[in-house]
Amino acid sequence: MTQTAWLLLLDGARVTLWISGVSIALGLVAGLGIALLRAARIPVLDQVLAVYTSLARATPLVTLVLFLFLAAPRFGMPLDRTAAAILALTLNTTAFNAEIWRTAFLNFSRDQREAALACGMRPATFFRHIMLPQMITTSLPGLVNEMSFLIKSSPAIAIIGLVDLTRVTNRISAVTYQPLPPILAAGLLYMAIIGVLIKLQSLAERKANRLAM
């Protein structure tokens, strides 16, 4: 492959990383918020959030991207391609993250909470310093797996014209009539991105284990 082709692939990888990274960050925070709200079991709100998480997980990502891009202007909320892509990916990953966080919350030992409150610790302090770190450690494999899945599903954003890594690969293949080299190169870039995530997960788990000792 030529240097120009590699530069195009790297630019496509930058778009993929930017949109996926923003969506992952938003989805982690929003997912935690939804998990805590559902754990509070507020009657109507809990049902609404349960419906959202079910629908968002069941809807194909490509359908969600296209729907938001085309439907939002009809409701007075015009979204450009980047905003529509980030919103779609965020809504999708938030739903999955919410269930991962909720599982960690429900499986948390009640004895620790009761002991901390009995010692006079404030609920907010207990959550921040004791509960949340343990929830992160428990949820880390599932969260990283969801991040990886989102990055691998991100080519859905190409349907609204965003030039991500996969779309660049298709363009190079169409111009050179040699699909295999750009496909292999794109595969290596995706593997490198996912590999960094897995490495960060391993480092985080080792650090958590050292702190727990």
Domain spans, the chain: 3-212
**Each residue's pLDDT tens digit, 172-186:** 999 988 889 999 999
Instruction: Report the C-alpha gap between 157 and 61 in whole angstroms.
Output: 9
State the Cα–Cα distance between residues 102 and 35, nearest whole angstrom: 5
The answer to whether residue 76 scores a pLDDT higher than 80 is yes
140-180 pLDDT per residue, tens: 999 999 999 999 999 999 999 999 999 999 999 999 888 89
- pLDDT band at 211; cut points 50, 70, 90: low
Going by C-alpha positions, the residue among 198, 213, 201, 93 that lies closest to residue 137 is 201
Pick the CATH number of 3-212 from 3.30.1490.100, 3.40.50.2300, 1.10.3720.10, 1.10.3210.10: 1.10.3720.10
pLDDT at 191 over 80: yes
**pTM, 2 dp:** 0.91
Over range 46-68, report the average pLDDT: 95
Q: What is the pLDDT of residue 207?
A: 78
pLDDT higher than threshold 80 for residue 208: no
More confident residue, 205 or 186: 186
Hey, what amino acid is at 209?
Answer: N
